[in-house]
Amino acid sequence: MGEERRILLKEKVLDHGFVELIDVLGSDQDIVNAARTSYDKGTKKISSTKQLIRYLIRHKHSGPIEFGVLVFRIRCPIFVARQWFRHRMASYNEVSLRYSEVVEEFYVPRSEWITSQDRRNRQARTDHEIKNSKEICSKLKLQSENLLKEYHSYIEEGVAREIARINLPLSIYTSFVFKIDLRNLLNFLSLRTDPHAQFEIRQYANIMAKMSEKYFPIVIQAWRDYVKNSISFSASELTVLKNVFEEKFDILHFIEEYLEKNEKTIPLAKLESLELIDKLRKLMGFNTTLDYLGKEKK
């Protein structure tokens, strides 16, 4: 009798897919230990652990984050897997249809998920369901069923599996094991939970983020705060903002006063407030505090 598969967490995705978390190496504390190059457990308060991890994520010091590793077992449509495998900083092992026969499961989107092509984004679809979506849904299902029947007829005729499979649709489900360090997982999640990613792979990425948070809660929350839910500006956009700030110099004073007055209620640690002021001063062209004070006196 073989060993039972180890499953830490499991959640269903789409109609026949799933995400299984099957192994985890490390924790928030292990990442902190790596950052400090120390392995003395329990010598730091949890607040210090949290502050350090948030500092690492905020300033993109990502090396220690790689000390967390997660292993997932994924079942998804082939077209989702092909997008997934573009993330090369991971280890994969996928089921082979040369060695085994196809499992009779294929993806059929719900009718409300069958929407129109986005005219501005050529690789995306809109949120607007098309009028005959239910009819198309039925056609998609029928086409996949017919192709599966053809596949099995080839197998019965003695055709090799590696040939019988070649006309199978991208809607067929495949399975693979996916091992990745936490740093590269955060990059995967940043791209695949983004609204620009295809709807189907977003469902998997959102579940993986939720599962990862159970084992690395401080890291995932820091990622949400400093990466996923943050924005960045181009050099041209910063120039526009700089010009506005120079015309309205009192904006910076207002922000400084606001941060000081609401220090206990704003969602920023003291160091983060200081970093925000520093960013705004640099935006206005002040490389040092003395530069800023000199401008202020004038």
Closest CA to 277 of 240, 245, 231, 247: 245
Residue 27 assigned to a binding site: no
Residue 86 assigned to a binding site: yes
Own/partner pairs for 258-267, CB < 8 Å, 24+ apart?
none
Residue 161 assigned to a binding site: no
Residue 98 assigned to a binding site: yes
Identify the DSSP state of 44.
S
Contacts (Cβ under 8 Å, ≥6 apart) of 206: 193
Residue 73 assigned to a binding site: no
Residue 238 assigned to a binding site: no
Contacts (Cβ under 8 Å, ≥6 apart) of 71: 21, 22, 23, 24, 177, 178, 179
Identify the DSSP state of 100.
S
Residue 70 assigned to a binding site: no
Residue 88 assigned to a binding site: yes
Residue 192 assigned to a binding site: yes
**Catalytic residue list contains 281:** no
Are the CB atoms for 100 and 172 separated by under 8 Å? no
Q: Which of 54, 73, 75, 192 is the catalytic position? A: 192
Residue 106 assigned to a binding site: no
Give CA–CA dist 51/86, Å, rounded: 33
Residues annotated within a binding site for FAD: 86-88, 94, 181-183, 187
Give the catalytic positions in this structure.
192
Residues annotated within a binding site for dUMP: 83-86, 94-98, 165, 192
Residues annotated within a binding site: 83-88, 94-98, 165, 181-183, 187, 192
